Amino acid sequence: MEKEYKTQWLNVDLNSMPLVKRKQCTYIRGVSRQLIEWFIINYQVYFDSEGADQSGWEKIETEPFALEYVTGLLVTLKRYKTLAWCEDPGSS
């Protein structure tokens, strides 16, 4: 494995993190999952669209909406971190 790829892999590998940081990441991941589950159970999402039923509001299934939204955030965060790492590999 080339040195550059190995260094980048170690920066994103959960097992290479210090124990305290690993526990923090695991805790946040669990809280995020619980928050998404709570949102799915407790909210209904509607949007205004032409051609929907008479009121103009159409219900969106909450689970796919929440997962798509969170996935978009994660992709954006990953792109940001990758670009930041490429610009200054020593700061991660």
Query: Concatenated DSSP letters for 11-66?
Result: HH-GGGS-HHHHHHHHHHHHHHHHHHHHHHHH--EEEE-TTSSTTSEEEE-HHHHH
The mean pLDDT value for 16-44 works out to 82
Q: What DSSP designation does 15 have?
A: G
**Token output for 67:** 């997962």
The amino acid sitting at 87 is E
For the entire predicted model, the pTM comes to 0.49
Over 50: is that where the pLDDT of 92 sits? no
Parse the chain into domains and list their residue ranges: 3-91
Average pLDDT of every residue of the chain: 75
Q: For position 10, what pLDDT does the model report?
A: 66
Mean pLDDT of 70-87: 78
